[in-house]
Amino acid sequence: MTKADAANGIELSRAYWEQVVAPIVLERWPSMPHAAARLGHGSDVLDLDDEMSRDHDWGLRLNLFVPPEMTTEVDAALAASLPDRFAERPTRFTMASDATVRHRVAVADVRRFTTSTLGVNAWRDLTVDEWLSVTGQGVLEVTAGAVFVDTNGELSGIRHRLRWYPDDVWRYVVAVDWARLEQELPFVGRTGGRGDDLGSRVLAARLAGIVMHLGFLLERRWPPYSKWIGTVFATLQPGEEVTPLLGRALAADDWREREAALVEGVRYLALRQRDVGLPDVGDPVGRFYDRPAYGIRPEVIEAVTASIVSARVRDRPYGMGSTEQRSHNVNVLLDAAGRAGVRSSAS
């Protein structure tokens, strides 16, 4: 299979850049600083595209970053110079968000692109509030995918800066996930014991999502949005053990089995937390008062919080966490301006 025949979206974009777009750009502007990549949204950016991915927004897509004063000129030159087809695919097509038939080389200034994607200025160090406002999917739209060329290193520097939270912020969001588990784990048994099986199942599903999010945090991996979170979680170090436990919890017809599977998954993550160098307090689970239900021991949250060096981070509101820990509203999570609003209201 040649590069031009590649079925993988990233390799298709790479071939498109090397064989078609780069010759046009370099012939006309040989000394212009630029970066070419396949970033943004799309299953191919996460290397998860398959046959079904081709039904929309898949194909000859590319990000081309140039100086801000050059974006209009470069875009117009490509519109006039690109061939109609490459690798048996059209170079001009519609998108779900844009019905215009046009080329999909997204010509932009790298700073404008990252700011519009993240809602923060990522070419310098982020503040604590800014770190807590970004989402895993938003960061992945900048840091996943592939960079084909970066002549001045600006894009690569931004991607490096976003590789993971600062240590204190990491510890804070880990503590918040434990606090989220503490708040509702006992209710799986409480609702089940009252005969509210639906309520118990809903709680178990929500807690399974938090367990998965905590697993991403412990592995220092940015979680993608909901469509891919289970697929990627299964590839993480805890995934082999915890994925079947969460599946068992969600399939269980008896609340006791449901609770037991969740508890086993939580205990596994506590062991993993010790392995990655965060505080270990032994068994994170204990009886919820004298009731026949289990809960998270507050010592887990206290120990992780106490390990935070910065008082500014350590003294943040209990359990508030990052934007994606506070909201599952898609309009908030996908909208940089919306995330900024949540950030300012929680500061």
Each residue of 302-333: pLDDT tens digit? 999 999 999 999 999 888 999 999 887 877 77
pLDDT above 90 for 267: yes
By the 10 Å C-beta count (0-12 exposed, 13-18 middle, 19+ buried), 331 is classed as: exposed
138-163 average pLDDT score = 96
Structure tokens at 162: 């976003």
Mean pLDDT, the chain, whole residue set: 91
Going from the C-alpha of 140 to that of each of 42, 224, 281, 328, 347, the distances in angstroms are 11, 7, 32, 18, 24
Nearest to 110 by CA among 173, 52, 65: 65
pLDDT at 146: 95
Please write the tens of the pLDDT for every residue from 176-216: 999 999 999 999 999 999 999 999 999 999 999 999 999 99
What type of residue is 127? T
Please write the tens of the pLDDT for every residue from 218-253: 999 999 998 999 999 999 999 999 999 999 999 999
101-122 average pLDDT score = 93
pLDDT at 174: 98
Going from the C-alpha of 45 to that of each of 39, 48, 202, 239, 285, the distances in angstroms are 6, 8, 32, 22, 38
Helix (H), strand (E), coil (C) string for 227-289: HHHHHHHCCCCCHHHHHHHHHHHHHCCCHHHHHHHHHHHHHHHHHHHHHCCCCCCCCCEEECC
Question: Rounded to whole angstroms, how far apart are CA atoms 62 and 103?
Answer: 10
Confidence of residue 172 (pLDDT cuts 50, 70, 90): very high
The whole model's pTM is what? 0.90
Structure tokens at 81: 């110079």
